Amino acid sequence: MGITAPYTLELKFIDGAIKEINFERMLFGEMFSPLKDQKLFNQVSIDPEVHTIVWPNGADFDPAILHDWDEFKDELIKRSSKWEILQNNN
């Protein structure tokens, strides 16, 4: 795993797959909004027990979703946009 750009991680999977994922459009809601702070986002690590990326505030992503990101990203962005609308209305 490595940070390649703001809010962007390169993830390497046990099967050899490599994904570069930009999370910026998903940083809304109670768990993910704090990750807009680049310093906090950059504290990402891999949890050795569950084998996924995690942040100090408890945010994480299902490793299967990360592995098949292209299949899930549009739906995740759509769901995140609902949190964005709620945050902007408060």
> What is the three-class DSSP state of 45?
strand
- The alpha carbon dihedral of 37, 23, 63, 14 has a sign of negative
Geometric angle at alpha carbon 24, from 82 and 61, rounded to 5°: 80
- Residue 34: give the domain boundaries: 2-89
The total number of structural domains in the chain stands at: 1
Look up the CATH number of the domain holding residue 38.
3.30.2020
Per-residue pLDDT reduced to its tens digit, 24-39: 999 988 889 999 999 9
Per-residue pLDDT reduced to its tens digit, 37-54: 999 999 999 999 989 999
Closest Cα to residue 60, out of 75, 72, 44?
44
